[in-house]
Amino acid sequence: MSSTARGARARARTEITAAIKEEARRQLAVEGAAKLSLRAVARELGMASSALYRYFPSRDDLLTALIIDAYDSLGAAAEAAHDAAAGAGPVRRWTAVCEGVRGWALARPHEYALIYGSPVPGYTAPRSTVPPASRVALVLIGILRDAHRDHGLAGPPLPADLRPEAVRMAADFAPDLPPAAAVAMVAAWAQLFGLVGFELFGQFNRVVEDRETFFRHAAGQLARTVGLVPPQQDGADRGEADRGRASQATGTGGDGSSSGA
């Protein structure tokens, strides 16, 4: 009841609010957050710049609204990518989510920069951004939970001095996961956005060319570090690579992630 038809006035307000955000997002995509101008938005919408302050008390508040929307959009993309791979194994689902995040970021670089780039100087994100910001992490945690329930997780040991923190982390947001897995999960979460951010912000420019393939591989490795084991037996892993110097022969055997299946 509260959302629809509480009078023409209220509906007009939500419509105008949406139009402002839409136009702002359009300018964001073109010019970037730094050059987003309230006056330009108002101009494009055919209203006085002062009128816009009836809807957003300041430029930063507009930005905050866009940030929340971006988090939600990214979260939805991650969830959609996960659902599209629902039937598959945990590694496949993991990489699907990672690729979903990457795809969203590549399609909306400025919105990605808005939420994972440098935060505005004195600005600290209000609490309202927390839940939408958690959605990607929740999807990843869900994959780990399922995998842990079904097969267990293969994680590295936990150093003694990290154990209390790990226990706290698991209790806080991943009660179904062993502490070591919670730690590995948070690290992988940050590392995922390191990969995406580096690609997006040009750090890979003369370094990585075939970024799609590179990312897929890296995401698969990330799955390993959180304890998800690829369908085929591991075991072959460790002794491999290149003992000694003249290695070069390394690789050859696909690790399974190369097969599309």
Q: Interface with its own copies includes 75 (CB under 8 A)?
A: no
Q: Is 146 in the site for its own copies (CB under 8 A)?
A: no
**Under the criterion CB under 7 A, does residue 53 sit at the interface with DNA?**
yes
Among candidate residues 58, 60, 69, 56, the one with its CA nearest the CA of residue 29: 69
Give me the DSSP letters along 85-104: TTTS-HHHHHHHHHHHHHHH
- Alpha carbon distance 179, 119 (integer Å): 30
* By CB under 7 A, residue 54 contacts DNA: yes
Least distance from C-beta 45 to DNA, angstroms?
8
Which of 18, 34, 51, 107 forms a contact with its own copies (CB under 8 A)? 34
Binding residue for its own copies, selected from 7, 57, 157, 175, defined by CB under 8 A: 157
Window 82-121: contact mask with its own copies (x via CB under 8 A): ----------------------------x--xx-xxxxxx
C-beta atoms surrounding 158 within 10 Å: 18
How far apart are alpha carbons 77 and 193 in whole angstroms? 15
Residues 20-39, interacting with DNA (CB under 7 A): 36-39
Alpha helices (runs of H) in 124-210, residue ranges in sequence order:
130-150, 163-173, 179-200
171 near its own copies (CB under 8 A)? no
Per CB under 8 A, 251 contacts its own copies: yes
From 18-26, 65-73, 99-107, 210-218, span contacting its own copies (CB under 8 A): 210-218
Please check whether residue 179 is in contact with residue 167, taking contact to mean a CB–CB distance below 8 angstroms.
yes
Two structure tokens written together for 68: 């929340």
Q: How far is the CB of 214 from its own copies (least distance, A)?
A: 6
Max CA separation in the chain (angstroms): 77
Tokens 């690729």 label which residue? Answer: 99
CB of 67 to DNA, least distance (A): 15
Residue 132 corresponds to which tokens in the numbers above?
């939408």
> Can residue 122 be called a binding residue for its own copies (CB under 8 A)?
yes
Interface residues toward DNA, by CB under 7 A: 7-9, 12-13, 16, 36-40, 43, 46-51, 53-55, 57-60
